[in-house]
Amino acid sequence: MTPIEERLNYKFRNSLLLAEALTHPSLGHETHRHHFDNQRLEFLGDAVLQLIFTQYLFDLFPTFSEGQLTKLRSRLVSREGLQVHALSLGLGNYLMMGKGEEHNGGRARNSILADAFEALIGAMFLDSDLETVRQFIVAEAKLDLDNILFEPYDINPKGRLQELLQAISPKSPTYLTVSETGPEHLKAFGAKVIWLDMELGYGEGHSKKEAETRAAIDALERKLWQANNF
């Protein structure tokens, strides 16, 4: 078994599928082999992950509405969530990519790692079957699934935001109260959340805590860190 197969605890019957899953498109641009990269497997892996998590949540929460289940699934298949799995496997160390992309930090880039994890899942699916991949995913995502079980539906936006951001950088977000208006018995506060010198969200409330919570919700909806290639 190769080192990545040992990390996966899975031996590929078709080693070309594994090679394809680990090949970033930038390598093809430099070698002019545009037909061999992980983009098609990424497309397939995304669908496989969606199906596995959809069925898991459907069975786990029989009383939840479509909207609630969709929000839960989006947490599991988000770019940040998939990056965590890629990091736990050390996937960036095994990627084959162009020298330019590697020089620009491609092995640690959130989007590249998430895409590679999807491609790896697509390759495993083609090499085995849905049940094999399901068992791997449920084991790999156990912590995420446990967190959803105990905190299923937008209970702690500040905690969720910190979880997402610390998957990218150890630096935690900070909250600043930027306004305080109204009489003493009817105060209104404004707060913003800052991370790596970026303002990610803004919220208002009748307490500082409420304003910070709304700022976290705003940040989770806007996902401005993605626009900055984190």
Instruction: Tell me the catalytic residues.
Output: 46, 118
Q: Tell me the CA distances in angstroms from 209 to 159, 204, 225, one per residue in order.
A: 13, 10, 23
Q: Tell me the CA distances in angstroms from 222 to 79, 161, 162, 200, 218, one per residue in order.
A: 14, 11, 15, 8, 6
Q: Which two tokens stand for residue 58?
A: 């459907």
Choose among 67, 46, 72, 47: nearest CA to 57: 72
CA dihedral (143, 157, 79, 71) positive or negative: positive
CB atoms within 10 A of CB 106: 19
Residue found under tokens 């020298």 = 99
Q: For the chain, what's the residue count?
A: 230
Q: Tell me the C-alpha distance between 37 and 25, whole Å.
A: 5
Residue found under tokens 């399901």 = 134
Q: Tell me the C-alpha distance between 230 and 227, whole Å.
A: 8
Q: Which two tokens stand for residue 35?
A: 């037909």
